[in-house]
Amino acid sequence: MLAEIDGIPMVVLTARRAIKASLVTRVIVATDDERIVSAAAAHGLEAVMTSPEHASGSDRIAEVAERLPAGSIIVNVQGDEPLISPETIDRAVEAMLSSDADIVTTSEPIDSVDDVFDGNIVKAAVGEDGNAVYFSRSPVPYLRDAAMHHGGDLRKALLSEPQLLSAFRKHTGLYVYRREYLLEFTKMPQSRLEKMEMLEQLRALENGARIMVVNAVERSIGIDNEADLERVRGMFTGGEAERII
């Protein structure tokens, strides 16, 4: 979170992007690390200390949400998304305000065969109604006929027929909740599938939640490793960070 990108901590860049969303009225950096609180404060951001015992980001923001007014709409943006689009945040909030979804989240296209098989990239299987059916670190949906046509090798099928990549969607690290559902959700015990895939949204699905998935307005880059960090740093050279944010 404190890795610098063009001289600015990553978490600060992410918060500044969130501030630009027209439907966001308050941005709070929630953390269990005093260094992050200090970095946020140094850049004029609101930050709060939370318990170090939380198992997930949703648990952490729920602690903060308990202090917020009833009926609040809560947007959870992971701190490693310094390129998150403010317009994507607004689109997700608008979807929540105009529906009865329990959670709204976002996805974007996958255009790399390697990304389909990358366990760090979560794939969203979405039904015709725009609601999530499942999330997985594995390739979902599995294109059985295409794979069988290439000897049961899905990777070979995708390399031979790149148009098939349009069947896959990358789940991005943004969630919108109504405050009351967030507090209810984080009191649910971890589910079996959640523990297997290490994806907390599966807890919501297993408990009957309706998760609406909307298309991101622009692509983002979640920073999961050093290569991602260097890639984003390359986009923020010579003061570019200040122009982007």
What pLDDT was estimated at residue 13?
94
What pLDDT was estimated at residue 34?
96
Check pLDDT > 80 for residue 243: no
What pLDDT was estimated at residue 242?
53
Mean pLDDT, the chain, rounded, equals: 92
Q: How many CA atoms lie within 13 A of 74 on its CB side?
A: 29
The mean pLDDT value for 29-43 works out to: 96
| Domains annotated on the chain, with CATH | 4-244 (3.90.550.10)
Check pLDDT > 70 for residue 86: yes
Check pLDDT > 70 for residue 240: no
Q: Read off the pLDDT of residues 154-185 as tens digits, 9 standing for 90 and up.
A: 999 999 999 999 999 999 879 999 999 999 99
Q: How far apart are CA 162 and CA 113, in angstroms?
A: 8
The mean pLDDT value for 28-39 works out to: 96
* Residues 129-143 as b or e (16 or more Cβ within 10 Å = b): ebbbebbbbebbeeb
